[in-house]
Amino acid sequence: MIDPRIIREKPEIVYESLKKRGVEFDIETLLNIDEKRRKLIQETEKMKNEKNELSDEIARLKKGSFSPSDKIEHLRVLGKTIENIEQQLRVVEKKWEDRLLMMPNIPHSTVPVGRGDEENKVVRVWGEKPAFDFQPLAHWDIGEKLDILDFKRAAKITGSRFTLYKSLGALLERALINFMLDLHTKEGYIEVLPPFMVNRETMTGTGQLPKFEEELFKLEGLDYFLIPTAEVPVTNIHRDEILKEDELPLKYVSYTPCFRKEAGAHGKDTRGLTRQHQFNKVEIVKFAHPEKSYQELEGLLQDAENVLKQLRIHYRVSMLCTGDLGFSASKTYDIEVWLPGQNIYREISSCSNFESFQARRAKIRYRKTGGKIDFVHTLNGSGLAVGRTVMAIMENFQKSDGSITIPEVLRPYMHGISQIP
């Protein structure tokens, strides 16, 4: 969440932020609730001080053999009044927090202003598009011809937007997961394997709740959710903790399956591996010092790019504009991989700095050398989305005879296999 002091003391910054994002939000109501909340807090504290002083006075009167009956009655009434005000305060604080949790993060000053993805800014391109002397196929056609991807049987088993990987297709998926984990651990990330189900507090900590509940898979009868990304459990590793300043940055890498309803994507990217309800991903997460978090973002982006460089796959990096920026992010880069079979760039990783937005929600702090406590900055990125990397390999390394060349760096993970079939 945004620092409430900014909303209270510099509302013009928040108004401008919402305008840039193209988001409507009733700030005036939030400020009015906050004012009422602070008045109730002051009133409660004043009465509690009076109650303490009165209690001490009653104790002194009793020692002096005086009858403090009138003051005891006043103490009883005061206690009841405090209970009533605290009850009002709980209601007001719930309204205040509920509204505050629905407010998006403030974009960083370097984020371009725009309304949608067409106004994102390409910041660099790596490699070149592959040249073919035949018409390249989309990965779903290649996968079905090689019998390594089976969409029909997956639909029979579960439904649409699921995939059954078979034979060397399953091996390729597993090889990529292990390759990415090995690469990132060599870069200094600590590997973790978190739970794939999380509670409501964990989802709230990273910003998925309460705003995006309709996009999540929830377990019936339990207040648990299937994770949409490893960002959620990994960021919450240090929820309600105070880290040491010299521990920062903390760097984690995690493989998990991810589960998404894709509620806002009906009829969009329905073919192939692009937009699945279940998919695998390797995620990299950082807890950074506020003064160094944008330097850490550039490093995290390079670590994600390194996967594609090692695989020798052409891509471009775009900085998202304000209208395309995620709810919790202050700044985001998308890595977009080239898919020749579809003649399109497709996002394969988003690398974001959330500044203190998630840390405030999850109460993740650090103690400075002088003893003062402040919130860390959290960052995360896909390193990479595994299914989308599979389709990138299939489309970029396809051959005229229908086979696929395996990138050299992956072959040790593929038992030495250099080609499918």
Active site residues: 260, 275, 347, 350, 388
Backbone CA torsion sign across 223, 227, 230, 232: negative
Instruction: Name which of 304, 293, 270, 408 is nearest 357 in CA terms.
Output: 293
Dig out the tokens for 368 from the structure. 């400075």
Give the DSSP per-residue string, 39-71.
HHHHHHHHHHHHHHHHHHHHHHHHHTT---HHH
Measured between alpha carbons, how far is 139 from 340 in angstroms, rounded to an integer?
10
Measured between alpha carbons, how far is 366 from 309 in angstroms, rounded to an integer?
35
Q: How many CB atoms lie within 10 A of CB 109?
A: 7
Measured between alpha carbons, how far is 355 from 332 in angstroms, rounded to an integer?
11
Measured between alpha carbons, how far is 317 from 311 in angstroms, rounded to an integer?
16
Sequence-ordered strand ranges (E) for 68-167: 121-126, 149-150, 164-165
For 386, counting Cβ atoms within 10 Å of its Cβ (0-12 exposed, 13-18 middle, 19+ buried), the class is buried
Q: How many CB atoms lie within 10 A of CB 256?
A: 22
